[in-house]
Amino acid sequence: MLSVRGIRTAALRLIDRDGLENLSMRRLAQELDVQAASLYSHYRTKEDLLADIANEIMAEVDVSGFESGDWRHGLTVWARSYRAALAAHPNLVPVIAAGPGRREAALRRADAVHGGLVAAGWPARHATMIGASTKYLVVGAAINSFARGFDADVQVYRDRYPNLSQAHRLSEHAAEIDNDSFELALSAFLDGLDRTFAALGHEPGAQHAGGD
Amino acid sequence: MLSVRGIRTAALRLIDRDGLENLSMRRLAQELDVQAASLYSHYRTKEDLLADIANEIMAEVDVSGFESGDWRHGLTVWARSYRAALAAHPNLVPVIAAGPGRREAALRRADAVHGGLVAAGWPARHATMIGASTKYLVVGAAINSFARGFDADVQVYRDRYPNLSQAHRLSEHAAEIDNDSFELALSAFLDGLDRTFAALGHEPGAQHAGGD
DNA sequence: CTCAAAACCGAACAGCGTTAGGTAAGCGAG
DNA sequence: CTCGCTTACCTAACGCTGTTCGGTTTTGAG
Minimal Cβ distance to B188: which of A143, A144, A196:
A196
* Confidence check: pLDDT of A110 > 90: no
Report residue B156's pLDDT band, with 50, 70 and 90 as the boundaries: low
Q: A162: pLDDT confidence band, cut at 50, 70 and 90?
A: low
- Phi and psi of A100, rounded to 5°? -60, -20
* B45-54: pLDDT as tens digits: 999 999 999 9
Q: How high is the pLDDT of residue B202?
A: 78
Q: Please report the pLDDT score of residue A192 as a whole number.
A: 98
Q: Determine the Cα–Cα distance for residues A9 and A95; give it in Å rounded to an integer.
A: 16
pLDDT of A78-108, one tens digit each? Answer: 999 999 999 999 999 999 988 665 566 777 8
What local confidence, expressed as pLDDT, does residue B102 receive?
59
A69 lies within 8 A of chain B by CB: no
Of A100, A161, A189, the CB nearest to B189: A189
Q: What percent of chain A has pLDDT over 90?
A: 69
Indicate if CB(B38) is under 7 A from strand D: yes
Could you tell me if B169 lies within 8 Å of chain A, comparing CB atoms?
no
Helical axes A104-119 vs A71-87, angle rounded to 10°: 160
**Opening angle at CA A20, ends B96 and B156, nearest 5:** 80
What pLDDT was estimated at residue A212? 43
| C1'-nearest nucleotide to the CA of A41 | C7
| A33-46 tens-digit pLDDT | 999 999 999 999 99
> CB distance from A155 to chain B under 8 Å?
no
pLDDT digits (tens, 9 = 90+) for B80-92: 999 999 999 999 9
- Cβ of A185 < 7 Å from strand C? no
Q: How far apart are the first and last CA of chain B?
A: 55
Average pLDDT estimate for A146-170:
56
Give chain A's domains with CATH numbers.
4-43 (1.10.10.60), 56-199 (1.10.357.10)
* For residues B131-145, average pLDDT: 93
Q: At what angle do helices A71-87 and A46-58 cross, to 10 degrees?
A: 140
**pLDDT given for residue A101 in this prediction:** 57
Which nucleotide, over all strands, has the C1' atom closest to the CA of B29? D9
The predicted structure's pLDDT at residue A55 = 92
Tens of pLDDT, residues A191-211: 999 999 999 987 765 455 444
| Residue % of chain B over a pLDDT of 70 | 80
Question: What is the rounded average pLDDT of the residues A69-74?
Answer: 96
Mean pLDDT of B17-36: 97
DSSP string across chain B = ---HHHHHHHHHHHHHHH-GGG--HHHHHHHTTS-GGGGGGT-S-HHHHHHHHHHHHHTT---GGGGGS-HHHHHHHHHHHHHHHHHTSGGGHHHHHT--TT-HHHHHHHHHHHHHHHHTT--HHHHHHHHHHHHHHHHHHHHHHHTT-S-S-HHHHTTT-GGGTTHHHHHHTHHHHHHHHHHHHHHHHHHHHHHHHHHTTPPTT----S--
Average pLDDT over residues B5-30: 97
Interface check B192 vs A, CB under 8 A: yes
For chain B, the average pLDDT equals 86
Q: How far is the CA of B37 from the C1' of C30 (A)?
A: 35
Verify if strand D has an atom below 7 Å from the CB of A7. no
Interface test with B, best of A181, A183, A187 (most B CBs within 10 A): A181
